[in-house]
Amino acid sequence: MSDNPAFDTIKSEIDKNDVVLFMKGTPLFPQCGFSNLVVQVLTHLEVPFEGVNVLDDDDVRQGIKDFSNWPTIPQLYVKGEFVGGCDIIKEMFEEGELHAYLADKGVPVRGMATA
């Protein structure tokens, strides 16, 4: 794929966690309005997720843009699949698609019966 060393870090986060949000700041203290919006949506849907603060590591901050071929942050991954950034997550949430998408992927989400 590439010899970019940040890709290993990114790949390992995506492999390790079903839902990963690459964001500015942390889920508790987002440092960007767009990252905050996605955190609020995931929190509202009661989705467990891992937040990766790209401000902690310049290589990951640039690396995730190259990895996804997507020049902006935040970026949401579910089960290894790139879902989108803030605009897409907001649209999917508003149109009721995000809940269905997450449930379909087998991710625990608000209102879903647990086995």
- Interacting residues toward another protein by CB under 8 A: 31-32, 34, 69-72, 82-88, 91-92
33 or 111, CB closer to another protein?
33
40 or 112, CB closer to another protein?
40
2 or 69, CB closer to another protein?
69
Beta carbon of residue 87, minimum distance to another protein (angstroms, whole number): 5
Beta carbon of residue 45, minimum distance to another protein (angstroms, whole number): 18
71 or 111, CB closer to another protein?
71
Cβ atoms 68, 82 nearer than 8 A: yes
Cβ atoms 110, 92 nearer than 8 A: no
Beta carbon of residue 114, minimum distance to another protein (angstroms, whole number): 29
Distance CA 90, CA 88 (A): 5
Beta carbon of residue 56, minimum distance to another protein (angstroms, whole number): 16
DSSP string, 69-109: T--SS-EEEETTEEEE-HHHHHHHHHTTHHHHHHHHTT---
3-class secondary-structure state, position 45 = coil
**What is the total residue count of the chain?**
115
